[in-house]
Chains A and B, each alone.
Chain A
Amino acid sequence: MALAFLDRDRSIAPAGYSRWLVPPAALAIHLSIGQVYAFSVFKNPLLALHGADGSAWNLKQVGYIFSIAIAFLGISAALFGAWLEKAGPRRAMFYAAICFGLGFVVASFGASSHQLWLIYLGYGVIGGMGLGLGYISPVSTLIKWFPDRPGLATGLAIMGFGGGAMIGGPLANNLMAYFKSAGRPSIPNTMITMGILYFIFMMFGVFTIRVPQDGWKPEGWMPSTKHSALISSHNVAVHEAWKTPQFWLLWVMLFVNVTAGIGILEQAAPMIQDLFKGDVSPVAAVGFVGLLSIFNMAGRFFWASTSDFIGRKGTYFIFFTLGAILYFFLPFTRQDKLNSVPLFVGIAAVVLSMYGGGFATIPAYLKDLFGGFNVSAIHGRLLTAWSMAGIIGPLIVNGILDHYVENKLAKEDAYPLILHIMCGLLVVGFLANLMVRPIAEKFWLKDKNIVVPVGAAH
């Protein structure tokens, strides 16, 4: 079969293959699909498009494109996670590249013919499936290659997702400017070009990824015999994992961490301008958003790597204690209180680093609790928390802001309420983390139950 090279068996690393070739393969995927965070660069150009009858789209209609993409990220990660465990990372990455690239191409037809449903289908549904498949595909492979530093390994890859916006944003802006100056339709051409470029870049990941041979371990590394009770030496299958209270506790933790982060991310630019009226220009507010994206990316690597030393529970303990304190304190930095822009920016940056860290540390937490056997599939199901937070977070933020605006209340007074709600959510996450205990023996995978002979251990 023409696609046999994608088989898991064909991607087993030969002896002597360096594990340091695997993170770049994972990064190629995550840096590409992370472009979704920069989708907002298309918003204004899409709003400026007009159909043959002179009709135009509104902000709400265009906003659904991103929401659909994130929803399908969670859905496809949950649906295809178990398949990925059998098919192997190379095949999953290949399909992710096709979906993500094709999504751009279909969306470009939607933009050129002014049919929004085609953009929903292309970038939202097809591209969103590429996001979900791509996001989870390298996770268990990296954990297998780096059993000594699983946090570092997954942090590296998921850092790429945070960094993808830093490439996708300027790339789209530059391409749109180029096509505009060349007198060609800027959005359709930009989308097709990006689809092709991302497909090629993701193919680098497809051809570079390798799974380790069964029983492989780093040279000279011996698994520690002394470790936390939360680090299991047993595996739990995906169909058992989600029956455990631990799965749902982690689901709640991811949900509240993402919802709280969205509380700032969703309104970062207007928030800083509203809280410091006249002190922060619109251009500086854009700079603030850029700074947050850097801390979001760096936090993924920093916190996930740190978790290898202080443990996953300890890391989330910091997120939910320090995070709750900082969210509570953040509104007091505003103009009519402490009036300190640097303090506001500093706190927001630390908070966003923990938002990113929450994403990047969760795969290692799952591996600790459920073992490496089905970690991608379990991670896929856990990502539904992200989709849910992507809906609930903006609902809370926009609902409160709309209420203040509609009732002619001072908009800047809405932010303390929003941030204190987020603080309360983090307290819920703190309690959930506190309740995490080792998985009960009845959920452990017994050897006789292994029904996935090939690919089970990748």
Chain B
Amino acid sequence: MAKLDPVKKSSPLLIAAAWIIVIVPTAWGLNYTVKNAMKLFSAPTPAAAAPAK
């Protein structure tokens, strides 16, 4: 009986790498935004708290 060629499946490492490529910049941006959003819940501070330009 003829032996069927096994189907070559995508490597889990390749899949993980593809996701890492998009997750890393997203996580960086999310971290920046969450830090910014937290200012909403901190007590109002004088103008000195404004970020340096």
On A, residues with C-beta under 8 Å from B are 14-18, 20-21, 24-25, 27-28, 31, 160, 163, 166-171, 201, 204, 208, 279-288, 290-291, 293-294, 345
User: Is the pair B25, A167 in contact by a Cβ cutoff of 8 Å?
Assistant: yes
Q: Is residue B22 within 8 Å, beta carbon to beta carbon, of the partner chain?
A: yes
User: Is the pair A283, B49 in contact by a Cβ cutoff of 8 Å?
Assistant: yes
Q: Which residues of A contact B41 (CB under 8 A)?
A: 287
User: Is the pair B15, A167 in contact by a Cβ cutoff of 8 Å?
Assistant: no
Q: Which residues of A contact B30 (CB under 8 A)?
A: 163, 166, 294
Q: Which residues of A contact B10 (CB under 8 A)?
A: 16-18, 20-21
Q: Which residues of A contact B9 (CB under 8 A)?
A: 16, 18
Give min CB distance, A302 to chain B, whole Å.
15
Q: Which residues of A contact B49 (CB under 8 A)?
A: 281, 283
How does the 8 Å CB contact mask read for B34-46 relative to A, with 1 for contact and 0 for none? 1011111110110
Give min CB distance, A31 to chain B, whole Å.
6
User: Is the pair A28, B44 in contact by a Cβ cutoff of 8 Å?
Assistant: no
Q: Which residues of A contact B19 (CB under 8 A)?
A: 20, 24
8 A Cβ contacts from B1-39 to A: 7-10, 14-15, 18-19, 21-22, 25-26, 28-30, 32-34, 36-39
User: Is the pair A284, B39 in contact by a Cβ cutoff of 8 Å?
Assistant: yes
User: Is the pair B7, A16 in contact by a Cβ cutoff of 8 Å?
Assistant: yes
Report the 9 A-B pairs with minimum CB-CB distance, sorted nearest first: A166-B29, A287-B40, A18-B10, A287-B39, A167-B29, A16-B7, A291-B37, A24-B18, A290-B37
Question: When the two chains form the complex, which single residue of B8, B28, B36, B45 contacts A287, counting CB atoms closer than 8 Å?
Answer: B36
Question: When the two chains form the complex, which single residue of A14, A25, A166, A201 contacts B18, counting CB atoms closer than 8 Å?
Answer: A25
| Known interface pairs A167-B26, A171-B29, A294-B33; 15 further A-B residue pairs with C-beta atoms within 8 A, sorted by A's residue number | A16-B10, A18-B9, A20-B15, A24-B18, A24-B21, A160-B26, A163-B26, A166-B29, A167-B28, A169-B29, A282-B50, A283-B50, A287-B37, A291-B40, A345-B40
CA distance A160 to B41 in the complex (A): 26
Give min CB distance, B26 to chain A, whole Å.
5
Give min CB distance, A390 to chain B, whole Å.
23
User: Is the pair A21, B18 in contact by a Cβ cutoff of 8 Å?
Assistant: yes
Q: Which residues of A contact B36 (CB under 8 A)?
A: 286-287, 290
User: Is the pair B21, A288 in contact by a Cβ cutoff of 8 Å?
Assistant: no
Q: Which residues of A contact B37 (CB under 8 A)?
A: 287-288, 290-291, 294
Give min CB distance, A202 to chain B, whole Å.
11
User: Is the pair B40, A21 in contact by a Cβ cutoff of 8 Å?
Assistant: no
Q: Which residues of B contact A160 (CB under 8 A)?
A: 22, 26
CA distance A50 to B49 in the complex (A): 29
CA distance A163 to B41 in the complex (A): 22
Q: Which residues of A contact B21 (CB under 8 A)?
A: 24, 28, 204
CA distance A200 to B49 in the complex (A): 37
Give min CB distance, B33 to chain A, whole Å.
4
CA distance A390 to B4 in the complex (A): 56
The residue on A at minimum CB distance from B26 is A163
CA distance A24 to B18 in the complex (A): 6
CA distance A28 to B40 in the complex (A): 30
Could you name 9 residue pairs across A and B whose Cβ atoms are closer than 8 Å?
Answer: A17-B10, A20-B19, A27-B22, A160-B22, A170-B33, A283-B50, A284-B42, A285-B40, A345-B40
CA distance A294 to B40 in the complex (A): 14
Q: Which residues of A contact B18 (CB under 8 A)?
A: 21, 24-25, 208
Give min CB distance, B20 to chain A, whole Å.
9
User: Is the pair A28, B22 in contact by a Cβ cutoff of 8 Å?
Assistant: yes
CA distance A141 to B42 in the complex (A): 44
With a 10 A CB-CB cut-off, give which of A167, A201, A282 has the most chain B CB atoms. Answer: A167
User: Is the pair A283, B15 in contact by a Cβ cutoff of 8 Å?
Assistant: no
Give min CB distance, B38 to chain A, whole Å.
6
Q: Which residues of B contact A291 (CB under 8 A)?
A: 37, 40
Question: When the two chains form the complex, which single residue of B22, B32, B45 contacts A24, counting CB atoms closer than 8 Å?
Answer: B22
CA distance A168 to B29 in the complex (A): 8
User: Is the pair B39, A283 in contact by a Cβ cutoff of 8 Å?
Assistant: yes
Q: Which residues of A contact B33 (CB under 8 A)?
A: 166, 169-170, 290, 293-294
User: Is the pair B22, A31 in contact by a Cβ cutoff of 8 Å?
Assistant: yes
Q: Which residues of B contact A287 (CB under 8 A)?
A: 36-41
CA distance A166 to B30 in the complex (A): 6
CA distance A201 to B8 in the complex (A): 27
CA distance A313 to B44 in the complex (A): 43
Give min CB distance, B6 to chain A, whole Å.
9
User: Is the pair A290, B50 in contact by a Cβ cutoff of 8 Å?
Assistant: no
